Structure 1
Amino acid sequence: MKILKPLALAFLLPFTAEVATAYESSPLISEAKVILQKDSLRWDAKLPFDSEVKTGKLKNGFTYYIRKNVEPEKRVTMYLAVKVGSILETDKEQGLAHFLEHMNFNGLKHFPKNELVNYLQKAGVRFGSDLNAYTGFDETVYQLPIPSDDPELLKNGLQVMRDWAQDAMLEDSEINKERGIIMEEMRGGRGAMQRMRDQFFKVLMNGSRYANRLPIGTEEVVMKFDPKLIRQFHQDWYRPDLQSIIIVGDVDPAQMESEVKRLFSDMRVSNKPKERPKYKIDLINKNQFIKVTDPEMTYTIGQVIIKHPEDKINTVGDYRRSLMKSLYNQMINARLGELSQSANPPFLQGSIDISDFIGDLENLSAYFVSKPGQFEEGFKTLVRELDRVDKFGFTETEFQRAITAFNKNNETAYTERSKKKSDNYVNTYLDHFLNDGPALSNEDRYQINKQLLPGLTRKEVEAIGQKYYVDSNRDVVILAPDAEKDKLPDEQTVNSWFADVDKEQLTVYDDKVSDLPMLSKEPVKGTITSEKSIDKIATKEFVLSNGVKVVLKPTTFKNDEILINAVSPGGTSLYPDADYMSASFAGNLINSSGIGQLNTFELQKYLTGKNANISPFISERSEGLSGSSDKEGLKTAFEMIYGYFTEPRIENDVFQGIISKQVDMLANRENDPNFVYSKATINALYGDNIRRTPYGKAELEKVSQERALEIYKDRFSDASDFTFFIVGSVTEEEIKPYLENYLAALPSKGRKEASKDLGIYEPAKGKEVVVNKGKEAKANVRLSIYGDYTYNDVENINMDALEKVLSTRLLERLREEESGVYGTGARVGYSKNPKPRYSVHVSFGTSVDKYQSLINSALDEFKKIKANGPSQTDLDKFKIEEQRQLELSLKENGFWVNQLVTAYQLGEDPTYITRYLQDLDKVTVKSVKDAANKYLKEDRLFKFILLPDAPAK
């Protein structure tokens, strides 16, 4: 199941700012600066700006932010922010802000036609992943991360920003080519959610201008506007007083400032600039209700949105209040999490959140995904928990746990400040320019949190909830499948539910915690019996007295991050089909339960404030563990590892809750065209094999709690064939006690196992599969080829090159030349076990009348690369991109864990990465051509095509 966002955010975020996912980059925590006075804080003090960034404004109004940051080394990230979005468009201009964003990649003063993308790709910059942009209601933002160790590239990167700011060519021919591309982007977004959004958006936006200014625009405008109109829009709004450049990276700030002044000071300034109005959403001081259904909707969702004026963070007091909102969110969602893990959960998913909305508003948003036929129960449960907090507040143990967690996050962010990525800084300064958001230095962020958190009180946090949970400016939105239409409540019924819950005799929340240690007994210490250094990659291999192997790579990429993985051969492949469902659910069931003496809720509370997390898994061909820790949490992490081997459990409530949720999620999945399409694809490839086909209710009924636990214990009863991988900021001396005390103490039987070849392979001969499902007039296509493979390092790198050069050509042909798709590309996969196999996939969405010609064009590109190989230019782009990405990857703990795990699982040389660039140099036009001829086999081609519902006869 997809993780569903609250609707207010789910439909707004793609058109506004990106979501900050890291604690340290959250505006509630990170983007402010504090005035310290004798170790105390003045709450009325304005939050000063980060002194570590060089900022200024040119005479023409252009703003700049420049900061030196060496993470990553030899890289710089540049953003151009423009306070221009779809909200400024007239009725005749709807979609032009977004269209203009596209045009800034289709011809600039110094980079005509598509030369911008071509030039940057030659420098190793990836289009889409690195080079990108977005258009929101109120802003357009362009991003360009590039290497900073090439003076010519750095100079040209700044020139790109200058051209983006005001020098788009906007040629008629390029505009007309882009119409079809944006039309396909629009088409790709059509479906159940878009159709429902069109109905409820006016309610959410209180009938404001925002309701009619979605950035994608309208088909009428996009396909028919006069090019003069977009040129005028560009002239009116792309001007220095509405723009800013943000530069963060491994650069000299003084030099960058000089270059910015040189390049941007001459920008055109109008004598009579058009006023940039400020739009907002007015509160209407009444409650609203809307329910919307759609035949393709798969879940019933309810949301309560209570809007409030935006609470800006300008002072220390504002910042303090934002901390309390975050504490409220954390504590009430912890309660909902417990409910969702009960034996009979009241909903499939639920969340409550006080956060920013749009149009100078913020909101308390409560949403849930209903179980089939149980909408009233889910709705009342959500309201009941809001009422419970409103009436009784939080317990002191809940509050102290939340404070502990926030303190730990604050300490972690401070510890990692010297390793902070440039993107985090960029997002802070972007928010400062666009929204007047505050911007803290690392030191001040740490100090303000450290001083404020101990002074926060439970009563103040409860008061925050009481302020936001009110019966005014409240919207209730219900989205559901058409089949549920007659079962949905009306507004009067929903209002009666609020009243019913209000009359209930609620009780105080019982915060159950345990004083017991996680493990019932201490492990019996073992020893390290041998050591071997792998000097080329600064790694060491240990063998323990019980046969466990440990691969350790100490790094300095983070100041306090340790990644831990473990694998063993076997997995679900060792069990018959009759046990498959129990085996496949075993890892998740164990992971969702407690460990040793702590049940799932006690364990979650025990782990609060600890940066330690370990999760077990059982896949088709292996079983193991994965997780992370810091140095302080290592003991806890290794206790968890030992517990998952020796004291696993599957709790009755967890088992019943997980299985019941899985059954409930099946109810309406046949409504979804994408599910029906995927199911048909799988059936064509694997028939009704239980290990591949989407499971149904009958299969879920085969999951046995007892058998799942037996299988898990069998997989983890013998640690002697496990290899542990530890990568991060820990030394050999620091880790050895944990290896001896915990890993060497794991049970050992000396079994010798290998995973089983199940013989599940795709047919040798391809075919065409057409699925008719869906209301929208659009087509989805997937072209796939499968077959046996020659697995070795040289073949693999040539297949990677084939993927890249084929993707480049498909994008140029299907998008740029034929204007038939928004996005496309090739994806190549290869594997060594259980026997060497490969796959090639090409996917795209388009209009129903174009899909066949685009299939022909894609296959024509297959033929060209087989006949001629790639162009040298495209091959060079692949090589430089690989080189530049490797420079970054080699300084990431996650990369090294994956490299080591893969090498040991496949029995390969873990030092190969040190020779990778040598093999990369050997890739030629001929070698890629040979790979194309060897693997792009026409007789193995599968065409999977999704079309709309067939017309009724």
Structure 2
Amino acid sequence: MKNSVPLLTTIGIACIGGFVLAQKSSDTDPKKLVAAKADSSRAKGTARAWAHSQSDITVDPKIVYGSLENGMRYIICKSPLPPKRVSMRLHVDAGSLNEAENQRGVAHFLEHMVFNGTKHFPDASKLIPQMQRLGIAFGAHANAYTSFDETVYMLDLPNIDKSTLDLGFAVMGDFADGALLENKEIDEERGVIASEKISRDSVGLRMFEKQFAALFPKSLIPNRLPIGTDEVIANAPRERFVDFYTRFYTPEKMTFVYVGDLDVAEAEQRIADTFGPIKNPAKPGDKATLGNVETPSGFNTSVFTDKELTSTELSILHAKPHSYQTDSKAKRLESLKFSVANAIINRRFSRIAKEENTTITSGSASRSIFFRELELGSIDVTALNNNWQAALPVLENEFRRAKLYGFTQSEFKEVVAGIINAYEQAVKSAPTRKSDSIASSLVEHAHSDAVYSTPETDLEILKQNLATLTPKTVHETFVKFWNTEDIHLILTTQNAEDNAEEKLAALFKQQSSEKLEAPNDKEAAAFAYTQFGQAGKITQTSHIEDLDIHQWTFDNGIKVNFKQTDFDKNSISMIASFGSGKAGMPLSKPGLDTLAGAIFSAGGLGKHSSDDLRTILAGKNVGVGLSIGDSHFSLSGSTTPEDLELQCQLLTAYLTDPGFRPEAERQFKAMLPNLYAQLKHTEQGPMAEMSAWFAGNDPRFVFPTQEQAQTLSSEDVKSWLAPQLNQSALEISVVGDTTPEALKAALSSTLGALPKRSELQAIPMEQRTLTLPDTPAEKSFTFQSEIEKAIAIVLWKADDATDRDIKKIRRAGLLADILDERMRVELREKLGEAYSPFARASLSMTFKNQGMLMAYSPGKPANTTKVGDIIIKLAHTLAQEGATQDELDRVLKPRLGLLEKSLRQNSYWLGTVMDQSQTYPDKIEAARTRDADYANVTLEEINALAKKWCLKSNSARIAISPKK
């Protein structure tokens, strides 16, 4: 199951989640203990009040709210998109904060256990295959997560057939009140939980625990990470699970959300039939609490160190107990004021980070409410080259400048424009919002007791609140929060002197006496790229009727593919492909693609820096990003009908006058120490080495050394990209909510007005041929860490051609899915050796010999050899004996459901079908025949690939492990 917790960005550390604790007890018959949940129960309950019943905000009238006699709540929303699909969510108002000391991790462990044997599905090994046969993919359609104060189960059903709905309700009903919690299943799952704990372990998580233990010593937060403790995971007896399940999986603490193509009356009846019989225990569990969240008063400093940290952070923190208030217009106004203030400070830090003599690489401001009990404000910077002494003045100055002088009218105007635009776009896109998104949003609102209002109501409230908002009122709110002596100054770094806290305090005090100037009020300039010459003319047109794709060619040679859709209201996506991409990268400059991707957009345009563009384009829905594929470059972006012309102007400006400004290169190189520290201390470094090795250490696939990266320059990028931006053949694809006439007009005056482009130049085969290492092979890669986390990887050579064989790529994916499923059953379910093993296929259409099949399993370093042996044996058996028809059906059925869904996704039509479809017409035929081809895949085809690829003699075995 997925583990998810709120992202805690206070002091620059992200909380990644966790889970549990126990002591020995006598075992009891499973069915008797589970029965106790009903035997000690009372029939009726009291449903929690809905937020809208206590608020001045009008709730969305399309949403049906209700409750059962036992106190369980439900939310129903009839939503037509996607058609013939429904989404279910079961929210349990309990998480790790509800655990006793000897249950630390049980809440998350339970999330796993409800998939491992219930009253309707007593054989745990049969539930997932049964779901797969109905087209429900584990992970893609069925998942769950546990946080500090909630547990959520998710089912997105691929159809509304009776058998599928019956299973969905049976599964959700069993999650709520049907877990068997067999001793055998608990013991078998312990290894999976332990593996998940290992996979989630990180220096960031450890630092979070250390920081919160110091800052909130009486709080439960650092002592209730959802992943729990090793002791509980290994030894918690069954009755601790039953105790938590009985006291917290109760109707009064649960909300069921049901969204999709449904009948409301039928839905209410099914909900009543499924969840109505559940009873509440005589003594339900108490509501979660954080404990004492008070922090030391006055000015305090703290220094936290860990040699594996990848950056040095400085933070000013203010925390105080929070008094929760019901969602209201006034509460939203208060939140809006903080959002505006912090957004302005973020922009200031962004500008400072780009300055020539800057001492920071980034900075941010935030204010958050955690678990209704803790209000936390934070101003943070990341120090350049770990030099916190040089970065501290920036932090102190901008913090004090905001308090003393507030915010300028131009800053306020820019931020507000972006906020208004976001709300307006939500209104326009609402008609095509998808059921799964609505369901997840409803769960979030139910959990936080927020009113689920319509986008129109949200916009109306925003405008009402903005009418009272000025830079002055925003400043007053900011000062009110920060006008306190209770400030905590925090340094987080790799190493620090013994007296670092004293030095930190002294430098901050010294800096606070320095004179500051008020911020300048600067109005935005006009966008300079609106004229590109005489409008171009379309010389060729065609219409692919069965796919409803228009294809045009301008007189300058630029080709256009367009599909008008109503899948996402008010949304348009585009991608312009050109040049030779990674295949044409100079072999003498490894890492040039990384630098190009990092600095292209950040370098702005010739007449506008990237910061200028953010101001000029505030409130507009435009943007351009560069991506570098194997065979081409792409400039992509998304927009709306009203901003379509501006988006085309911006894209054309990046083609004709990219800035390649020095501040972009400076920013990239300023981040290099942090990046290489991360590569040194995490598995990402060895993964990069492994990828380069398996590509024959071709320079185009090698991540550069830090010294090599430092020598790369903007001029290198310009020399590589500029000729291709200006001259190479270009094909643009556009999909979304606009008309052919509107797009033609926007393109004619922009891309169509450019000088004639050259013809497409084929990349020579010798330039696209890689020399891979011989197999069988064994390699070990290490990273420096005290964290006991390792990865067993097996790679198989999977192709030796670049014949654009779409059918082979599809079948390779299905073969990988079958291996993936065998790994899940063997490594996770049977042996408990891995939490998230997986297999994937990757076949190149550009590079000869690059195709591979990969199996990946994270776990303990001591088990890497054992797990590698198992994976190789599983694949070799698959090669020799083949898969079964049932295995193929179970991976194919969910795939077919996803294919059907993709037909209503702009991303599918843009990226998979239309992009470069005039250059490669086979993409159109592949789209036409896709579904039929998948439906006609035979077991013989899959087994033929397995026999060719999955042999032990064709494998490369990789071990990635920490080197202390």
Structure 2 equivalent of residue 240 of structure 1: 251
Structure 1 equivalent of residue 436 of structure 2: 423
Structure 1 equivalent of residue 84 of structure 2: 74
Structure 1 equivalent of residue 242 of structure 2: 231
Q: Using the TM superposition, give the Cα deviation of residue 794 of structure 1 relative to its aligned residue in structure 2, in angstroms.
A: 2.6
Structure 2 equivalent of residue 292 of structure 1: 304
Q: Using the TM superposition, give the Cα deviation of residue 587 of structure 1 relative to its aligned residue in structure 2, in angstroms.
A: 5.3
Conservation of the 8 A alpha-carbon contact between 2:630 and 2:846: no
Partner residue of 1:407 out of 420, 425, 430: 420
Letter in 1 for 2:956: F
Residue 222, structure 1, aligned to residue 228, structure 2: no
Residue 457, structure 1, aligned to residue 470, structure 2: yes
Structure 2 matches for 1:4-43, cutoff 5 A? 6-7=9-10, 10-12=13-15, 14=17
Partner residue of 2:702 out of 672, 693, 705: 693
Partner residue of 2:792 out of 781, 799, 808: 781
Partner residue of 1:491 out of 484, 501, 504: 501
> Cα gap change, 1:180/1:464 in structure 2, threshold over 3 Å: closer, same or farther?
same
> Cα gap change, 1:154/1:225 in structure 2, threshold over 3 Å: closer, same or farther?
same
- Between 1:801-810 and 1:742-751, the stretch displaced more is 742-751
Structure 2 equivalent of residue 949 of structure 1: 963
The 3-state SS of whatever aligns with 2:534 is: coil
> Cα gap change, 1:902/1:373 in structure 2, threshold over 3 Å: closer, same or farther?
same
Conservation of the 8 A alpha-carbon contact between 2:193 and 2:835: yes
Structure 2 matches for 1:848-859, cutoff 5 A? 848-859=861-872
> Cα gap change, 1:649/1:850 in structure 2, threshold over 3 Å: closer, same or farther?
closer
Residue 741, structure 1, aligned to residue 749, structure 2: yes
The 3-state SS of whatever aligns with 1:628 is: strand
Q: Using the TM superposition, give the Cα deviation of residue 149 of structure 1 relative to its aligned residue in structure 2, in angstroms.
A: 2.3
> Cα gap change, 1:446/1:163 in structure 2, threshold over 3 Å: closer, same or farther?
same
* Partners of 2:238 and 2:148 in 1: CA distance: 22
Letter in 2 for 1:728: G
The 3-state SS of whatever aligns with 2:642 is: coil
Encode CA deviations 1:783-841: one digit per residue, 9 max, x unaligned: 11225345523322211110111101110001101111111011110012133641011
> Cα gap change, 1:847/1:34 in structure 2, threshold over 3 Å: closer, same or farther?
closer
Letter in 2 for 1:166: D
> Cα gap change, 1:641/1:225 in structure 2, threshold over 3 Å: closer, same or farther?
closer
Structure 2 equivalent of residue 646 of structure 1: 656
Letter in 1 for 2:842: G
* Long gaps (5+) in structure 2: 1-6, 20-49
Structure 2 equivalent of residue 192 of structure 1: 203
* Partners of 1:297 and 1:59 in 2: CA distance: 53
Structure 2 matches for 1:867-878, cutoff 5 A? 867-878=880-891
- Give the TM-score, by structure 2 length: 0.90
Partner residue of 1:864 out of 858, 870, 877: 877
The 3-state SS of whatever aligns with 1:612 is: coil
* Partners of 2:108 and 2:55 in 1: CA distance: 39
Conservation of the 8 A alpha-carbon contact between 1:290 and 1:477: yes
Structure 2 equivalent of residue 302 of structure 1: 314
> Cα gap change, 1:153/1:393 in structure 2, threshold over 3 Å: closer, same or farther?
same
Encode CA deviations 1:338-365: one digit per residue, 9 max, x unaligned: 1122223322232111222345112112
* CA RMSD of superposed structures (Å): 2.6
Q: Using the TM superposition, give the Cα deviation of residue 645 of structure 1 relative to its aligned residue in structure 2, in angstroms.
A: 2.4
Structure 1 equivalent of residue 527 of structure 2: 517
Letter in 2 for 1:199: K
Structure 2 matches for 1:467-866, cutoff 5 A? 467-481=480-494, 484-486=495-497, 490-519=500-529, 521-571=531-581, 573-574=583-584, 576-578=586-588, 585-586=595-596, 588-662=598-672, 664-665=673-674, 668-669=677-678, 671-682=680-691, 684-686=693-695, 689-718=698-727, 721-756=729-764, 757-773=767-783, 774-789=785-800, 791=803, 792-835=805-848, 837-866=850-879
Structure 1 equivalent of residue 99 of structure 2: 89
* Partners of 1:624 and 1:98 in 2: CA distance: 42
Q: Using the TM superposition, give the Cα deviation of residue 542 of structure 1 relative to its aligned residue in structure 2, in angstroms.
A: 0.3
Q: Using the TM superposition, give the Cα deviation of residue 489 of structure 1 relative to its aligned residue in structure 2, in angstroms.
A: 6.3
* Partners of 2:564 and 2:468 in 1: CA distance: 39
Letter in 1 for 2:244: F
> Cα gap change, 1:279/1:633 in structure 2, threshold over 3 Å: closer, same or farther?
same
Conservation of the 8 A alpha-carbon contact between 2:293 and 2:320: no
Letter in 1 for 2:677: N
Q: Using the TM superposition, give the Cα deviation of residue 871 of structure 1 relative to its aligned residue in structure 2, in angstroms.
A: 2.3
Letter in 1 for 2:725: F
Partner residue of 1:267 out of 274, 278, 297: 278
Encode CA deviations 1:526-583: one digit per residue, 9 max, x unaligned: 1011101111210010010101110111111112111111112323543533456557
Residue 183, structure 1, aligned to residue 194, structure 2: yes
- Between 1:196-205 and 1:142-151, the stretch displaced more is 196-205
> Cα gap change, 1:372/1:909 in structure 2, threshold over 3 Å: closer, same or farther?
closer
Seq. identity, %: 25
* Partners of 2:662 and 2:787 in 1: CA distance: 44
Structure 2 equivalent of residue 383 of structure 1: 396
Structure 2 equivalent of residue 26 of structure 1: none
* Partners of 2:153 and 2:847 in 1: CA distance: 45
- Between 1:121-130 and 1:511-520, the stretch displaced more is 511-520
> Cα gap change, 1:682/1:798 in structure 2, threshold over 3 Å: closer, same or farther?
closer
> Cα gap change, 1:574/1:428 in structure 2, threshold over 3 Å: closer, same or farther?
closer
The 3-state SS of whatever aligns with 1:898 is: helix
Q: Using the TM superposition, give the Cα deviation of residue 103 of structure 1 relative to its aligned residue in structure 2, in angstroms.
A: 0.4
* Partners of 1:143 and 1:780 in 2: CA distance: 29
* Partners of 1:273 and 1:517 in 2: CA distance: 62
Structure 2 equivalent of residue 441 of structure 1: 454
> Cα gap change, 1:383/1:940 in structure 2, threshold over 3 Å: closer, same or farther?
farther
Structure 2 matches for 1:145-160, cutoff 5 A? 145-160=156-171
- Between 1:316-325 and 1:573-582, the stretch displaced more is 573-582
Structure 2 equivalent of residue 138 of structure 1: 149
Structure 1 equivalent of residue 173 of structure 2: 162
> Cα gap change, 1:60/1:444 in structure 2, threshold over 3 Å: closer, same or farther?
same
Encode CA deviations 1:715-751: one digit per residue, 9 max, x unaligned: 11215x1101011111111111122211211122534
Structure 2 matches for 1:246-395, cutoff 5 A? 246-276=257-287, 278-284=289-295, 286=297, 287-310=299-322, 312-358=325-371, 360-395=373-408
* Partners of 2:782 and 2:907 in 1: CA distance: 42
* Partners of 1:878 and 1:839 in 2: CA distance: 20
> Cα gap change, 1:467/1:11 in structure 2, threshold over 3 Å: closer, same or farther?
same
- Give the TM-score, by structure 1 length: 0.91
* Partners of 2:246 and 2:345 in 1: CA distance: 49
Partner residue of 1:922 out of 936, 949, 961: 936
The 3-state SS of whatever aligns with 2:773 is: coil
Q: Using the TM superposition, give the Cα deviation of residue 865 of structure 1 relative to its aligned residue in structure 2, in angstroms.
A: 1.5
- Between 1:601-610 and 1:431-440, the stretch displaced more is 431-440
* Partners of 2:634 and 2:287 in 1: CA distance: 57
* Partners of 1:86 and 1:506 in 2: CA distance: 46
Conservation of the 8 A alpha-carbon contact between 1:582 and 1:705: no
Q: Using the TM superposition, give the Cα deviation of residue 301 of structure 1 relative to its aligned residue in structure 2, in angstroms.
A: 2.5
Conservation of the 8 A alpha-carbon contact between 1:298 and 1:671: no
Structure 2 equivalent of residue 38 of structure 1: none
> Cα gap change, 1:514/1:761 in structure 2, threshold over 3 Å: closer, same or farther?
farther
Conservation of the 8 A alpha-carbon contact between 1:799 and 1:928: yes
Structure 1 equivalent of residue 46 of structure 2: none
Encode CA deviations 1:408-430: one digit per residue, 9 max, x unaligned: 11111101111122234333432
Q: Using the TM superposition, give the Cα deviation of residue 507 of structure 1 relative to its aligned residue in structure 2, in angstroms.
A: 1.3
Letter in 1 for 2:72: F
> Cα gap change, 1:726/1:598 in structure 2, threshold over 3 Å: closer, same or farther?
same
> Cα gap change, 1:616/1:232 in structure 2, threshold over 3 Å: closer, same or farther?
closer
Conservation of the 8 A alpha-carbon contact between 2:605 and 2:654: yes
Conservation of the 8 A alpha-carbon contact between 2:386 and 2:493: no
* Partners of 1:580 and 1:676 in 2: CA distance: 16
> Cα gap change, 1:495/1:861 in structure 2, threshold over 3 Å: closer, same or farther?
same
